[in-house]
Amino acid sequence: MLDRPLPIAQPPYVSVIAAATCGAGSEAFLAHWNALATQYQVAAEVMVVEPGQRNAALRAARGEFVLCTQTNVRFSNELFAFLAARRLVKGRLYRIDCYQGDWLHAREGSFRLTADGWRANAADDITPPDSGIHFGEGWFPPEGDGEVFRWMAGAGEVNLRAGRPGAALELELEPGPGAGALPQTLHVVDPEGTMVAEFAIAERTTVRLWLPEDTRAFRLVAEDGGLPLLDDLRILDVRCFRCEWARPAGEQGTLRDWGAMRPTLVRQLAGGARLRMLRTIGWLRAAGSNIFGLGIEYWGEGWHRLEESGTEKFHWAAGDAELVVRIGAEQQDLCLVVEPGPSLSGLPFELVVRLEDGPVIGAAKVKGVTPLRIPLPLAPGSVAKLLLAPDREGKALPGDTRMLNFRVLACACRKSATAALPMKLPRQWISSVTGERSVGIDWETRLAGAQAQRREIGRPAFLHVNACDFVLMDRERWLDLRGYPETGELPEHRDALLCYSAYFAGAEEEVLRLPLRMTRAEGDYTPAPLDEELVWLITQMRRLHTPVILNVEGWDRGD
């Protein structure tokens, strides 16, 4: 054992046991430690030991707490300040992420970092590499041979680069084996911790999420998740296949032919709405290949698919037709060409427009083909989900399961003619389920034989055992665990066994956060994943809620 204790006048608060990764690194580590420990007045003793001699050092340690580390790591000043503050709690297992060059070894895996410190997207990922969307804590690395996906556990952090004001994200998700009873509720939580949106998924579901302009991050939180697998230690609450910026439904299309508008105009003339013919012509012509124009982000529930009849294109609507609109730089009106449908017997009705879960913001009479301009009292830059409904209930049609209350032949947001006073809306997070299909894996069926053990396990912890170059516990806990397992397994596997044993011996895991930081010298280092037997072993620790100790009394024969 190479023992170079810092001269200390008091009993050490922390004993630092650093396994020497190479002889030259030891001196540098000691210099680093001594300098910062002196600066921050950390009462510590340092023992630099040969690899495999950590247990002997553990037995000799005198500190109230013992940190096992390596000589090829360095700690941030803040970490020294933290240690000096003597805020460590007995009964905790302290761990920390490991930074190594442009790599981060985190709980979920090892990730390459971008220049600004975000976890980089892989070339084959659930989002394009340059999408500006980055997946942080809670997301596992992408996987999948054919279709790529990422698992998410608990709360998945999504970071966004600037430059996408008011954009919508589209996520394709399905419940994972960690989900409880279906449907699984997913919450969207903003950086302040406020739940700003929620949706439920039972199948493979596409969700569109409109974010406020200045959004830089949010978390997707799986409620009622955390259930275990027996052959994978990770908690797999949600599987995400796609997360990318969504294209709005309405776009500036090519102008429609005059001839294509003729049947609509004829009906409008027949209905007597001659005065607003020009308006109709302009709107229909601008509707292009679809009926939705600029400002229309999304149309969802309540709308039937696009239909074509002759040269006309339209969507039938039932009730509460969902429409997400984006208000541009100026105040906008919702402009539609609407016509009563057979469920309303083709009779005039009033089209009522209201905010989802909010007040009515406009209404207009529809008689025959009618161009409507409904002022939207929404602030420039905002996004809102509107519901369009007739003022009365329609009747079911014989021979058609659909409710055809009205049809819309053109729909867009246009610069407001009236400049209504904008309403004060809450900070806008809007979500909509935009598609569903059957799940890739029916976990209930697949795990039917494992339910008894899963029940015994409950909701287990998935510990941070990736690159355990920092394991800090109170000395008594180390001794009770008899130190590191003394076996010929890979070091990272012994570390994992130790951490899980500590956890099941009652030590609560606490992962220290930035700016507390540990940096490992650059070099090739890829921790080997736990093999099937070790996964089984830890699964049994979870099931039986037991530590597993591999050393007998008199342990220190070399770990």
Partner 1 sequence: MATDPPYVSVVVAARNDNHGGNMLGRMQAFLDAWMVQAERYGLASEIVVVEWNPPPGSPRLNEALRWPQTALSCEVRFVEVAGEIHERFAHSDVIPLHQMIAKNAGIRRARGEFVLVTNLDIIFSPVMMQFLAARQLQQGVMYRLDRLDIASSLPEGGDVDELLRFCEGNVLRVFAREGGFPLDAEGWPLPIENDVFTRESGIRLGSGWHEIERSDFDCYRWTDPEAEFRFERPRGAAPRLVMDLEAGPSAGDEPVTLEIADLTDNVLAAATLRGRAIMRLHLPPELTSGRLRLRTKGRGLALIRDPRILHLRVLGMEWETAPEWMQATAMPPESKGRAEPEVRVVSTGERRIQFAVRPASGQSLRNFAVELKDAAGNTVLSAAQQTGDGDHLVTLHLDFELAGGAGDASPWLLETVREKKAYVWEGQFHAVNPRAAKMVKATYLHTHACGDFTLLARDDWFALRAYPEWPIWPMHLDALFCYSAYHAGIREEILHDPLRIYHIEHGTAAGWTPEGEKARAARLQAKGLSELQYPEVVRWINLMRRFNAPLIFTLSQWGLAAERLPETRV
Which chain residues interact with partner 1 by CB under 8 A? 452, 456, 479-482, 485-489, 505, 533, 536-537, 540, 543-544, 546-554
Q: How far is the CB of 66 from partner 1 (least distance, A)?
A: 16
Taken in order 465, 548, 480, 228, the sign of the CA dihedral is: positive
Contact 389, 361 (CB under 8 A): no
| 135 residue type, one letter | F
Q: How far is the CB of 92 from partner 1 (least distance, A)?
A: 16
Interatomic CA distance for residues 485 and 474, integer angstroms: 17
Q: How far is the CB of 549 from partner 1 (least distance, A)?
A: 4
**Which two three-digit tokens encode residue 272?**
């007597």
**Which two three-digit tokens encode residue 156?**
């998945």
Nearer to partner 1, 297 or 489 (CB): 489
Nearer to partner 1, 90 or 513 (CB): 90
User: Which H or E element spans position 217?
Assistant: strand 217-222
Residue 337 pairs with which residues in a beta bridge? 371, 410
**Which two three-digit tokens encode residue 246?**
């969504």
Q: How far is the CB of 115 from partner 1 (least distance, A)?
A: 43
Interatomic CA distance for residues 470 and 472, integer angstroms: 6
Nearer to partner 1, 5 or 558 (CB): 558
Q: How far is the CB of 126 from partner 1 (least distance, A)?
A: 35
Q: How far is the CB of 548 from partner 1 (least distance, A)?
A: 5
Nearer to partner 1, 418 or 451 (CB): 451
476 closest CA partner among 58, 187, 195, 153: 58
Q: How far is the CB of 464 from partner 1 (least distance, A)?
A: 22
Interatomic CA distance for residues 217 and 265, integer angstroms: 48
The answer to whether the bond into 183 is cis (omega within 30° of 0) is yes
Please give the C-alpha separations between residue 183 and each of 27, 102, 204, in angstroms, as whole numbers: 57, 39, 11
Q: How far is the CB of 552 from partner 1 (least distance, A)?
A: 5
Q: How far is the CB of 64 from partner 1 (least distance, A)?
A: 18
Interatomic CA distance for residues 258 and 325, integer angstroms: 27
Nearer to partner 1, 355 or 537 (CB): 537
Q: How far is the CB of 550 from partner 1 (least distance, A)?
A: 4
| Residue 357 DSSP label | T
Taken in order 426, 428, 429, 430, the sign of the CA dihedral is: positive
String of b and e for 16-26 (b: at least 16 CB within 10 Å)?
Answer: bbbbbbeeebb
Nearer to partner 1, 170 or 559 (CB): 559
Nearer to partner 1, 378 or 473 (CB): 473
Nearer to partner 1, 297 or 509 (CB): 509
Nearer to partner 1, 9 or 452 (CB): 452
Interatomic CA distance for residues 86 and 98, integer angstroms: 22
Interatomic CA distance for residues 293 and 174, integer angstroms: 31
Q: How far is the CB of 537 from partner 1 (least distance, A)?
A: 6
Nearer to partner 1, 277 or 479 (CB): 479
Nearer to partner 1, 505 or 511 (CB): 505
Q: How far is the CB of 559 from partner 1 (least distance, A)?
A: 11
Distance of alpha carbon 204 from the chain centroid:
16
**Sequence-distant (≥ 6) Cβ neighbours of residue 128 within 8 angstroms:** 121, 244
Distance of alpha carbon 177 from the chain centroid:
17
Q: What are phi and psi of 316, to 5 degrees?
A: -75, 150
Please give the C-alpha separations between residue 407 and each of 321, 366, 403, 410, 418, in angstroms, as whole numbers: 11, 11, 11, 9, 25
Nearer to partner 1, 34 or 551 (CB): 551
| 508 residue type, one letter | E
Nearer to partner 1, 158 or 473 (CB): 473
Interatomic CA distance for residues 451 and 428, integer angstroms: 41
Nearer to partner 1, 364 or 548 (CB): 548
**Which two three-digit tokens encode residue 183?**
């449907």
Contact 552, 132 (CB under 8 A): no
Crossing angle for the helix pair 491-504 and 532-544, to the nearest 10 degrees: 10
Q: How far is the CB of 500 from partner 1 (least distance, A)?
A: 13
Q: How far is the CB of 229 from partner 1 (least distance, A)?
A: 17
